[in-house]
Structure 1
């Protein structure tokens, strides 16, 4: 009886303790709720309602590009675009839902989707199946290494499982892929090509259920002259290149910004890119509520090129026609390209930079012409006798000959060396002056110049070539570099090559120092040849070559060109170490090449060309192409002789096979190029006169 009584009194005590603990806990909860609602209620409400302002920059259209006559060459074509601005706090489910909603409104191409994208998307859509692809042991093993665990899941997704993704799924994936391709609060283009008016309007109508999505205007680069000068204008990337991501992001670029990829677009990126528009993203709980403009952006500055696009087009056409015409002749199997560089000899401004390559197009299934203007400074060839003006001036500058010096043109027979001779050796031995040697393109004269530079005088057959080949070739290259041959011209474009220097190290290579003087050892670019002849034309000043003439502010609302921000002024790189009279003598010899009966360029003295009064030098060089002996042909020229306006070079590699039928494609191109320039000049003069007369008549009527 006593035991049972004790038991009854013990149980209520334990219950009372439990009730007391529960009472204390509820009291603490009530006190905490009271504190949050009464004391901190306003702070919590403000935290919930708090918005955040984040400033971001949006891209603006690039600057335009014009030719020297202000004809637009590269423009921007506006395009309707749809963008997405990711919130600060990424939520895959919300993002996926937005992508699904948008996919019902727009059509999205799926071409960019990769296998990796499909695997990731399948795992996102099938979380239970994804979890089942790893065992509990693997989950335990890779705890804290989620990336390794996810890698296993990816590897175990089968092609059969990926095949369950429908076309609708892939379209959602294509949109989701763009949504997640950038940074938070940084607008990304979801679709900026072929956005229909219906898509644009419907997205605008549904912006309320498409968080982060917006509509805007994008732009695309348009090249108004088609393929003309296309290889020089360059390209623009669709977004930041991966290999330079850090470089551009450190300079304020966004991942979807376009940047110049090559040549003019790349070289003048800082000028063309413009000043970005600044906008403020008002966010709440990480999501963008609205976008407020802060600072209006400014389109990139405009470039005015030195190029005359009408002249460029005319020369491009000439090259295509002459290549095709010459290809119809024998021995031209390896002829596939030709180059013309035309410049103002006094300023270094490049008026035309034409290159055409004739090759088989796999897509079109036929031979077509491609623009290869860049080949004027990225490829180099042995030009032959066109460089003999520099050879004679090298003789003057080195002191081995003077004006009027005579050397005997004869077959030179050195010991252990094949006979070296001029192209017209059959005329027999004769004494020539320096001027006559240029007019008749004497090889023997130039060979003996090289010997004299090495301290040797040729006196009899089987004489040993006793010169220090290293000293001679170094001197020759140093003198030639004063004209721009074998060195960079200063061109304001990336990728310029200096040419290939022949190997002089072989024991029997001393004879190459002789070949150097006739343009058959080192290789030079067409641009270098144009700079070389310009240096002789303008009195000995090597002018820096450049393709941009001016940088201007953008056109105003009334269509007026903006003021000049920077004018690219002529720059003298160096003056050759020759006297005015020595330079004038070479110029006079160049005139004789075209006008003397014994000159090699008498085609330029035909009745139709006499008014141009041109001067210059032709060239032919033996070379090798695809294991076969070929002849390169070249030409440097300027006109008019008295007051030169233009200087140009022509280079046609592999014009015909060695031992085959000769052709004069260099002269054929040269005569037509010369005529094209002066015909265009005359046409414009008539147009200007006609406009002036019309203006005068209008003023009289008023």
Structure 2
């Protein structure tokens, strides 16, 4: 009994000791928490505030391009791709991941430079790398007389070719992958492989993503061209996944929210409408801690495909015109005097709206390796190259004569050649008699235009005497008038790099006579099309354009989205002439093609679509790709041109044909007329179908 009492008396003491111990522990814990909060609280708060919100943008498919009948011209073809995003990984971690990935996919090693191999050798062989530094150099380094960079360069320079050969084929693949890992910026997705990713590669990488930090399998895209090379030079190109943003436009794109490795349009339509075609990229915000680890991911913006473009081009007509040019150009090459003939251009335009229906160009080139010649698309040349065009500009000359008061409706001149002192006689191709301005257009009188120019310059002509002008602004007057039709100035077409042409530098009176017959300044096929459209529609210079509509992307791939913007016809300026004057020029153009004696009548007699137009032949100096073969004096060549519209009473189509360097010598191969007749026939036949 006494023993039981003794045991009970010890129990409360032990219990009190336990409670006291717990109390002490809690007291210490509370004191510690208070100390951490009070003393280090601000530091921890600053560390928490060091979290970064980094927005990652993911690319989306570009908008498609359609022709005027809503057939796809440029499409997107999806393809499997493997990407890597650096989420703050160390060099060692990325090398390990690259090694694992190299075991799963095949990676081309062509882009692995010697410098990459050297860097990798140093990483792989640190002791051997250190051994390449002498004791003296190490002493200099410790004395801070050699920098880290200089020491590293010494190691690089001392790596031998044999040592680089130690890198195995598997390591080269790993290095090629590592190169892609390090080629971008933190939290920017880099394309590791998107060409020829096999189903097996895609599947096995997808299955092993847990062991491949930063690696993702996704869908990339390529541009596809259902019409193959048709109009390719105008459609333009997009940078490849390895190119990223063009260096000369880097700041421009970065300021607009692009990533450095984004694919963008780099030429022509793809570049001109980049803002429309690029679309809205999806954006994901990665929240990282102070060490760079992603602790949260939030979706910021859903992706939206690029908007689609509907072009004014009729691709059936475009292909037909391409074929006509090819056939006629090859046929011309079989004729004598065509050694230098290598290109031809055609533009078809709606004179009422400025819509470009076709812009076709073909060029013959020689392959430097094989020596074989073949033909390539050069639609770009319709507005980026200019030439002397000859008499096609005479409609503008007559209207300029009307505007300046140099001539009036019904003014007659005799077609006898003009002889200026110390210069060869200037005349028409034959003596055409006494004629008015309408007949001068029909028969293409040079002399009539010469007299008109002399009057514009307020000059006095006497046979074999000097020719002087009292109007010192005659060149400016004529050039400004020509520009109001689109000649010698940019047409405003919605494509980059349009050329305005070359203006002859001399202002001697004789050159003014050359100017008014199209043998001094140079013009493009697009300028000729705008010019003849202005005459066809009665005096409105229309803005030529190749984009007809901008549409929202469709949900389904085989549908069209709603119209976002329709490109309406725009009048750039109106020619300030009387309706009677314009009618007389239109009559002259009609006679050219529909009345015996007209310079194009033999090619267009009997057609049902009532064409009107003007032919042109210009003697020019050759300045093409074979120019260096002829020393300082290039040979004289003949450029051929044709402008036309139809029907003459209510025009719906305007045409310009330009064949530079069509022939040498005296025999005209009529290439422009052959092409022009077939093109207009094709247009109206396709319309009837």
Instruction: State TM-score, norm by structure 2.
Output: 0.88
Aligned-pair RMSD on alpha carbons?
A: 2.5
The answer on 1:452 being equivalent to 2:449 is: no
* CA displacement, residues 560-590 of structure 1 (integer Å, 9 cap, x when unaligned): 3222111111111111121111111101110
Give the match for residue 605 of structure 1: 604
Give the match for residue 641 of structure 1: 648
1:281-430 equivalences under 5 Å are: 281=286, 285-288=291-294, 293-362=299-368, 365-425=371-431, 430=433
Question: How much has 1:470 moved relative to structure 2?
Answer: 4.7
Give the match for residue 202 of structure 1: 204
Which of 470-479 and 315-324 deviates more?
A: 470-479
1:528-677 equivalences under 5 Å are: 528-557=527-556, 559-607=558-606, 610-625=607-622, 626=627, 627-657=634-664, 659-677=665-683
Question: Structure 1 residues 251, 312: CA separation in 2 closer, same or farther (over 3 Å shift)?
Answer: same
Give the match for residue 124 of structure 1: 123
- Give 3-state SS (helix, strand or coil) of 1:612's partner: coil
Give the match for residue 93 of structure 1: 92
Question: How much has 1:248 moved relative to structure 2?
Answer: 1.5
Contact 2:460 2:467 (8 Å CA) reproduced: no
Give the match for residue 223 of structure 1: 225
The answer on 1:179 being equivalent to 2:185 is: no
Distance in 2 separating the partners of 1:360 and 1:451? 45
Give the match for residue 3 of structure 2: none
Question: Structure 1 residues 127, 247: CA separation in 2 closer, same or farther (over 3 Å shift)?
Answer: farther
* CA displacement, residues 267-301 of structure 1 (integer Å, 9 cap, x when unaligned): 11110110110124365753457866443200000
Contact 1:77 1:219 (8 Å CA) reproduced: yes
- Give 3-state SS (helix, strand or coil) of 1:407's partner: strand
Distance in 1 separating the partners of 2:605 and 2:531? 26
Distance in 2 separating the partners of 1:138 and 1:243? 42
User: How many matched pairs?
Assistant: 640
Q: Structure 1: which 5+ runs fail to align? A: 1-30, 684-702
Question: Structure 1 residues 550, 270: CA separation in 2 closer, same or farther (over 3 Å shift)?
Answer: same
- Give 3-state SS (helix, strand or coil) of 1:307's partner: coil
* CA displacement, residues 621-655 of structure 1 (integer Å, 9 cap, x when unaligned): 00111311100000000111111110010000000
Distance in 2 separating the partners of 1:357 and 1:469? 42
Question: Structure 1 residues 149, 252: CA separation in 2 closer, same or farther (over 3 Å shift)?
Answer: farther
Give the match for residue 72 of structure 2: 72
Give the match for residue 510 of structure 2: 511
Which of 465-474 and 258-267 deviates more?
A: 465-474
Distance in 2 separating the partners of 1:605 and 1:233? 33
Q: Structure 2: which 5+ runs fail to align? A: 1-27, 628-633
Contact 1:552 1:563 (8 Å CA) reproduced: yes
Distance in 1 separating the partners of 2:296 and 2:189? 13
Question: Structure 1 residues 604, 641: CA separation in 2 closer, same or farther (over 3 Å shift)?
Answer: farther
Question: How much has 1:190 moved relative to structure 2?
Answer: 0.7
The answer on 1:259 being equivalent to 2:256 is: no
Contact 1:603 1:667 (8 Å CA) reproduced: no
Which of 140-149 and 408-417 deviates more?
A: 140-149
Give the match for residue 23 of structure 1: none
- Give 3-state SS (helix, strand or coil) of 1:611's partner: coil
Contact 1:68 1:304 (8 Å CA) reproduced: yes
